[in-house]
Structure 1
Amino acid sequence: MPEWLIEHGIGETRAALIDGDTILEARILPDGELIAGTVLRARLVARMPERGQGIVAWAGGEALIAPLPAGVTQGAETLVEITRPAISEPGKPKRARVRPARPDAHEGAGDADLPDATILRHTDADRLEAAGWSELLEEAATGQIAFPGGALDIALTPAMTLIDIDGTLAPSTLSIAGAKAAARAIRRLDITGSIGIDLPGTDKAARTAAADAIDALLPQPFERTAVNGFGFVQIVRPRRRRSIPEIVAMDGALSHARALLRRAERSPGIGERVLTAHPAVIAAIEGHPAWTAALQQRIGASIALRPDPALAISAGHVQARHA
């Protein structure tokens, strides 16, 4: 029977729904991540009454607010509720979106949507890795996911997450197999918001079967269009947090730094641990002293950080002083 597992890691919380040796669904919540439902106090720094919008700011962030809060003048503070987190995109980062909080609202974090689950400690057997956690992070970073007879190419765009399907199967067969693989990937990688799937051009029966496959494999709630004659279908899922591809691909150094710390706290051996990684990853760790302090506390040993520009950003490794 599928089982939810949760790790409260260094710098992030991880959750995965495991069925045997397969991750069906996963989530990553970096520490301090704004999620939908979070209520905080912010200052209205700009008004755009012609659009019914404004900009609010707080220590460490800002957001687009709509509608404008009634009776709040520019420069005044007000309580707001996050409706969408900030999304990092190349050259065009998207601000978080908020709305005026309810009159009875209190400041605090929103619902992280983490299920009741078995809590894993770093000293427990690594059940996430046994189910393919590293492979899942690689899929998120590269956007490349293979399935029998074909492959998915997942691309993040300002408008939506796009999934292209290609392969060697006959078009109708590839369309259905690709739709199944795309639905599984959307669930596994926690992809939400607007999603477009480009299926191979095919006949009406195959388009219907592909749509039925999506409905069967992707849990509600979501909305979708019919598959049009060009093989394109759009899906919209509620957006409460960043997807794993957005976290891993758009925030690469920090994401790989946290993944390296995860490996370090599970590394065998005795004595000092030497973490060797790309300079950007080492800089990300050095920029968070609390992370290194937490790692030293968990493993009961000192750590050393060693930058190596010859390494790929994902190729960091850990070595104990005494194996």
Structure 2
Amino acid sequence: MADWIVERGIGEVRAARIVNGEIVEARIEPDDALRAGTILSARLVRRLPIRNEGIVAWDDGEAVLSPLPRAVTEGATLLVEITRPALSEPGKPKRARARPAPPDAQRDDGPSIADLAGVRIVGAFERDLLGEAGWPLLIEEATTGNVAFVGGALSIALTPAMTLIDIDGDLAPASLAVTGARAAAAAITRLDITGSIGIDLPTVNDKAARIAAAEAVDAILPQPFERTAVNGFGFLQIVRRRSRASLPELFAHVPAHARALLRQAERTGGSGERTLAAHPAVIAAIAARPDWIQAVERTLGAPLALRADSGLAISAGHVQARFP
């Protein structure tokens, strides 16, 4: 099987690496997202020399530029390379980040996982390999932040400072620390969590158990990353290079749920008109994109009907075919 299974979905590219029938890594790239590696022309609107940074802007965006080129004055244009898109963190939206591009660089939209070697592209009419490997469960984990494992569960929370993972369960503290650390590392990989990550393990006095928990992370989490040791309070911090939004960050916003519901519509059996029932915000997001609706209708060969239901949660949309 290919290293990655990729769907060029409506409004997004979805990708998963599947091992023994389960998703071990996943990514979602919204079509309108600014990708790391994009090279574009921007104008330096403000110099921040004390931080060796600047603010650059273009028609529909802006970024923090680091390092700040000495010879570029405010108002001048230059080529920049995006290193991380903008992030809509709770209460503290973060600008995209960029660096000066080489002088001979060409404008480019940046690499997509769908363009990499070794991927298998699957379409809406093909076998649902992502669904069979647990894609709906993956989306549920990203949405709720709840990840179950044998003997316990993880609670994942987004904060402006870092992604926090709390571990709870019924195992003895030393066993729970090691098992939970292993589950946390797997969830970090599966949900594409990057940046600063804090793992709150059970407090254990046994130094050997704390070392074993840290080693469990090392055994599962792909390099490169940096981490601390597990301190006496059971806290472990990890830092991974951040070049895109994680799945929990994407599903903290309505558009991701709208695109997920359209995927569900594409894969719904039966015939005749498909009715999409969802929270009014999700329905509004879909209604605002007639191109998305038309793409699904072309795939199904049937019209879509949209029904807003304020009693449904953002993530609780569903699809019904007129004829089963």
TM-score, reference length from structure 1: 0.95
- What corresponds to 2:30 in structure 1? 30
Q: Deviations over 1:231-270 (max 9, x none)?
A: 2111111212111111112x2x101100000011112222
Q: Does residue 1:184 correspond to 2:224, yes or no?
A: no
The structure-2 alpha-carbon separation of the partners of 1:3 and 1:103, relative to structure 1 and needing over 3 Å to count, comes to closer
Aligned equivalents of 2:244, 2:156: Cα separation in 1: 18
1:137 counterpart SS class? helix
- 2:251 maps to a residue whose letter is V
Q: Deviations over 1:203-251 (max 9, x none)?
A: 10101111111111111111212212222111111212111111112x2
**CA-atom RMSD, angstroms?**
1.6
Q: CA deviation at 1:69?
A: 2.9
Q: Deviations over 1:15-72 (max 9, x none)?
A: 1111233111111111122222111111222222333222111222111112223433
Gaps of 5+ in 1: none
Q: Does residue 1:197 correspond to 2:199, yes or no?
A: yes
Q: Deviations over 1:140-163 (max 9, x none)?
A: 111111111111111111111111
- What corresponds to 1:146 in structure 2? 148
Q: CA deviation at 1:113?
A: 4.5
Q: Does residue 1:4 correspond to 2:4, yes or no?
A: yes
Asked if 2 retains the 8 angstrom alpha-carbon contact of 1:2 and 1:20, the reply is no
- What corresponds to 1:231 in structure 2? 234
- 2:73 maps to a residue whose letter is T
Q: CA deviation at 1:290?
A: 1.6
Asked if 2 retains the 8 angstrom alpha-carbon contact of 1:2 and 1:19, the reply is no
1:159 counterpart SS class? coil
Aligned equivalents of 1:43, 1:95: Cα separation in 2: 15
Q: Does residue 1:214 correspond to 2:233, yes or no?
A: no
- What corresponds to 1:97 in structure 2? 97
Aligned equivalents of 1:51, 1:237: Cα separation in 2: 23
- What corresponds to 1:59 in structure 2? 59
- What corresponds to 1:286 in structure 2? 287
Aligned equivalents of 1:269, 1:72: Cα separation in 2: 60
Q: Deviations over 1:112-161 (max 9, x none)?
A: 34552221111112121111111111111111111111111111111111
Q: Deviations over 1:56-105 (max 9, x none)?
A: 11222111112223433322322111112111112210111111111111
Correspondence list, 1:114-153, <5 A? 115=116, 116-153=118-155
Asked if 2 retains the 8 angstrom alpha-carbon contact of 1:38 and 1:108, the reply is yes
Q: 1:245 aligns with which of 233, 245, 248?
A: 248
- 2:303 maps to a residue whose letter is S
Q: CA deviation at 1:2?
A: 7.8
2:125 counterpart SS class? coil
- What corresponds to 2:274 in structure 1? 273
- 1:173 maps to a residue whose letter is S
